[in-house]
Chain A
Amino acid sequence: MSEAAQSSLASDDGAATLDHDHLVEERLVAWYFIAGLVYLFISFSGGLMMALQLVQWNPLQGSEYLSPGRWRMIHTNAVAYGFLANCFLAGLHWAVPRLTLKPVLSRPLSYFIFIAWQVVVVSTAAGILMGQAQGIEWGETPKWIDPLALAGLALVALNFMAPIIQAKGPLYVTLWYFMAAFVWTFLTYAMGNIAPEYFVSGTSAGAIGGLFIHDLVGLFVTPLAWGLMYYFVPILLKKPIWSHGLSLVGFWGLAFFYPLNGIHHFLYTPIPDFLEYGAIVSTIAVEFVVTTVIINFFGTLWGSGRAVVTNLPIRWFYTGMVLYFITCAQCAMQVTHTFQKLIHFTDWVVGHAHLVMFGVFSMWFFGMMTYLFPRLLKQSWYSRNLCEWHFWLSAGGILVMFIDLTLAGIFQGYFWASLQPWEASIDGSYPFWVTRLFAGLAIIGGQLAFVYNLWKTWQLSRRSAAAA
């Protein structure tokens, strides 16, 4: 694809107006990534505080602004709206103009969105800290911010849809995912934050809450992230995606089955059984769709497998994909009533969430950052070793955390069903919670290595710019 794009770039409109600098606002890409990293560390503070609280080592007691309950919501919201959303905007600002050969609608608008989105995220955090959270999981954004966030999402869609609509000829897979994601993200946010707050209560609100939690993963994060994978992987491997047919199956399978999954978060609730079964069947269908996507990407990798060793961004991407497959395989099992009986409400689910949010999507962003920062700063990485530390601490940390929390969940489930006093399940969880704390510290350590590396690389880039 990129080669075709390159050739059309040279022949059609004249290279002068279509060179990379004209198309991509590099400074904004870097800013978005850095903003994302800032929120990642804010999220880490919340996660660390919760981990310390669970093992009763939390030294910060007594202030409501340091309440672990509120910081737990900052932990999840900072990841979704701070880290992931900012990194997506970075990726979109890089990929969309390069794919469509058209700049975004307006550069001033891009900068306005950048600032407006940071205002939205910071006010969300401030509102949650002041105890104004809304009672929707992953949508705790205080009620008064919801309209602002929706306006922001609409502007984002407008800014990127302008070049996509103008693009001629068949669209590349990445753009299918992006276009659909713009529509879905807006609709998901509106549905989840408005309907259960103002229109319905009780069981119906629960059904919508389930749809919201799952659509946020499946219709906002997943399509944007896979769109970026379809863009970066062929470019890095210097070959086209293995099968266009499988790309089609992957996209349309996701589009149809993913929105139908939400209710699987609330099995054995008063939500009618036939709706629960519908969600379960759709979830298992998603697993088949995911398998076709994974086959497609490993078909692409076929013949250049050494890149996983030598090419760090490719290693991040494919590690994420393996973990994605594990996540989805796990998902197809854990949505059944049989598994839910035991593992619902336990740390199993927490492990699952961390595996998909950190082990998959965050890893892909680390790969993109590892690839893009040297290009944005015109300076190769300060230390390849630190890049390796970043990878191994992150991968090791998440793997330990995932296995640990999954086991913890099984133990908790059996403790509860055995009707022992509740405290028995707390005692039984303790060693797992301690392990999780250290796995989390390893992950944080990996990101500290990355940020230090980035800082040194930036300093080097300043020095070489000054010398030139």
Chain B
Amino acid sequence: MFESKSGILLIGGIGFFLFAFLSNALVPILLYRHLPEQTVEELADNQNLIYQFEDLKNRYPEQFEKYYGEANQENLTKALRLGSHIYTGEGCWHCHSQFIRPVSNESSRWGKVASSDEFQNELQRPVMWGTRRVGPDLSREGGRRGNDWHAVHFFNPQSLSPRSPMPKYAWFYDDNDPSKPNERGLAIITYVQWLGSWLEEYPDYEDYQPLEDQMRNPLE
């Protein structure tokens, strides 16, 4: 058996592979079979994200009009899909992870530890966990910075973070102008703002108060 062709092909080749697949892949599939997989349409039905999408329209009205038209649910879905495609195609996930571990103070830096339900959706197919962090984790990035910050940062990361090794993404813009994000630029910003938008801790800018209000003594 140990040196025969059928033993090697059937037991070693197929048998052990199948055993590993059943125990290491099928078990998690069965464990999570009751977690519904959300579609992009369902993901787009999210007030935080709709707020960001409308904000993009307000900040870049001409560009937004040109590539997406209305800031409605349908276009948000479209932008989110394209953004996810760009995130994959540009290899963003090779320098940014998308999961927070319960160790190394990661939850202090970024927020809530990752859980399975967060990844049970169409945009995590294949899952974008990543295996390397040259830049920070992005799974809680949404809402932390404004759309204009992202527009400038994708155009020239070093202008905002001088030592950053992140490449410049000039092809996300028309006329090589950071104030003119194109279809891809608007999509990738939407995608980044989506990350973490399902969490309660997503920063809520509707509650934002001007600096002078914050400085005012509440007892006055």
Contacts and interface: CB of A to CB of B under 8 A. Distances in A.
Nearest to B20: A259
Interface string B1-21: 011110011011110110111
Interface in B57-102: 86, 88-95, 97, 99, 101-102
B131 A349 contact: yes
Q: Which of B3, B135, B171 has the most CB of A within 10 A?
A: B3
Contact of B21 (A179, A211, A430): A211
Contacts of A54: 134, 165
Interface of A is mostly: helix
B165 A53 contact: yes
A265 B120 CA distance: 19
Given A179-B8, A268-B102, A346 B133 contact: yes
B161 interface: yes
A266 B31 CA distance: 17
Most buried by A among B23, B37, B121: B23
B109 interface: yes
B165 A55 contact: yes
A184 B17 contact: yes
B86 A131 contact: yes
B25 to A, nearest CB: 5
Contacts of A346: 132-133
Interface residues of A, number: 89
Contacts of B158: 56
A289 interface: no
Nearest to B88: A135
Contacts of A256: 16
B199 interface: no
B129 interface: yes
Given A136-B126, A426-B164, A201 B5 contact: no
A345 B129 contact: no
Interface stretch (B48-56, B111-119, B202-210, B211-219): B111-119
B173 to A, nearest CB: 11
A279 to B, nearest CB: 7
A219 B17 contact: yes
A176 B108 contact: no
Contacts of B136: 422
A196 B125 contact: yes
Interface stretch (A21-29, A247-255, A354-362, A457-465): A247-255
Interface in A127-162: 131-137, 140
A426 B165 contact: yes
A170 interface: yes
B92 A69 contact: yes
A64 B133 CA distance: 22
Nearest to B86: A131
A397 interface: no
B94 A72 contact: yes
Given A67-B167, A73-B91, A137-B131, A200 B125 contact: yes
Contact of A416 (B86, B104, B126, B128): B104
Nearest to B158: A56
Given A176-B8, A209-B127, A416-B104, A270 B89 contact: no
Contacts of B171: 63-64
A352 to B, nearest CB: 11
Contact of A204 (B25, B130, B167): B25
16 contacts: A53-B167, A56-B163, A67-B169, A131-B89, A133-B91, A180-B9, A183-B17, A202-B37, A252-B12, A255-B12, A259-B21, A278-B23, A278-B24, A341-B104, A345-B132, A426-B164
Interface of A: 53-56, 58, 61-64, 67-70, 72-73, 131-137, 140, 164-165, 170-171, 176, 179-180, 182-184, 187-188, 191, 195-197, 200-209, 211, 213, 219, 248, 251-252, 255-256, 259-260, 262-263, 265-266, 268-272, 275, 278-279, 341-342, 344-346, 349-350, 413, 416-419, 422-423, 426-427, 430, 433
Closest 3 CB pairs of A and B: A183-B13, A259-B20, A202-B119
